[in-house]
Amino acid sequence: MTEHGQDEILELLWTLWEDGKSKREELLRATAEDRPEVLLDELLASGHADASGDDIRLTRSGEERARGIIRRHRLAEVLFHNLFDLDNVQLESSACQFEHILSEPVVESVCTFLGHPPVCPHGRKIPRGECCDRIRTEIQPLVMRLSDATLGATVRIVFITPKSRTRLEKLSALGIVPGSRLRLLQRNPSYVLQIGQTTIAVDKDITDEIFVKHT
């Protein structure tokens, strides 16, 4: 139980760091763990965290351990979000349980299966793994680039990774947002998409930034 509790504190320290927070009271206020002070002292003693006054920060070893926890948790959130109709409470609870039973090979397979998502359903970054930096073809991804979708099939947008905010705004104006459904009608000479009753032509660099799954 101590290791489980430490993992929860490490995960929270990482999340608070993402939000620009590092104060001890912010950590203690945000955690639901029993005996958080004891767990924090254990992490300080083991060298996974460091204290400077009221500031608590992860050390290099703490970051490495927390990174794995965060990666497993957020991949689990994407998995449950894509496969099941869960509310936020159920999603968080299920991901918290799942993150503690995923071995590294399973994590890599799940990430590949999902198409190496860059963010979780809440928009937080998912730390990359080795599988994200190499092509894996032995598992058919659940989530794929729109460029690779089956012609004529209806797909749902899972996430978008635009290179600029302007492009994201233009896509949003066209109704191309996470959760919307569309069809890829052709690939050459340009990519033609049907969104509702509207048909538009776009370049491949745009369809490469749109990740979808078949409905």
Q: Of 1-5, 19-23, 198-202, 206-210, which range is least confident?
A: 1-5
Whole-model pTM: value is 0.64
Instruction: Say if 201 falls within a structural domain.
Output: yes
3-class SS of residue 158: strand
Instruction: Say if 138 falls within a structural domain.
Output: no
In the chain, pLDDT over 70 holds for what percent of residues?
Answer: 95
Q: What is the mean pLDDT of residues 4-15?
A: 91
Q: What is residue 140's predicted lDDT score, i.e. its pLDDT?
A: 55
CATH number at residue 82: 1.10.10.10
Q: Residue 158 sits in which domain range?
A: 144-214
- Which is it for strands 191-195 and 144-145: parallel, antiparallel or unpaired? unpaired
pLDDT band at 85 (very low <50, low <70, confident <90, very high): low
- How many angstroms separate the CA atoms of 115 and 69, rounded? 19
pLDDT at 197 over 70: yes
pLDDT at 138 over 50: no
Residue 76 amino acid letter: A
pLDDT at 190 over 70: yes
Q: What is residue 47's predicted lDDT score, i.e. its pLDDT?
A: 95
Domain shared by 150 and 199, yes or no = yes
Q: 108-132 pLDDT, tens per residue? A: 888 888 888 888 888 889 999 888 8
Domain shared by 129 and 189, yes or no = no
Instruction: Say if 187 falls within a structural domain.
Output: yes
- How many angstroms separate the CA atoms of 215 and 213, rounded? 6
Q: How many domains does the chain have?
A: 3
Domain shared by 37 and 86, yes or no = no
Instruction: Say if 105 falls within a structural domain.
Output: yes
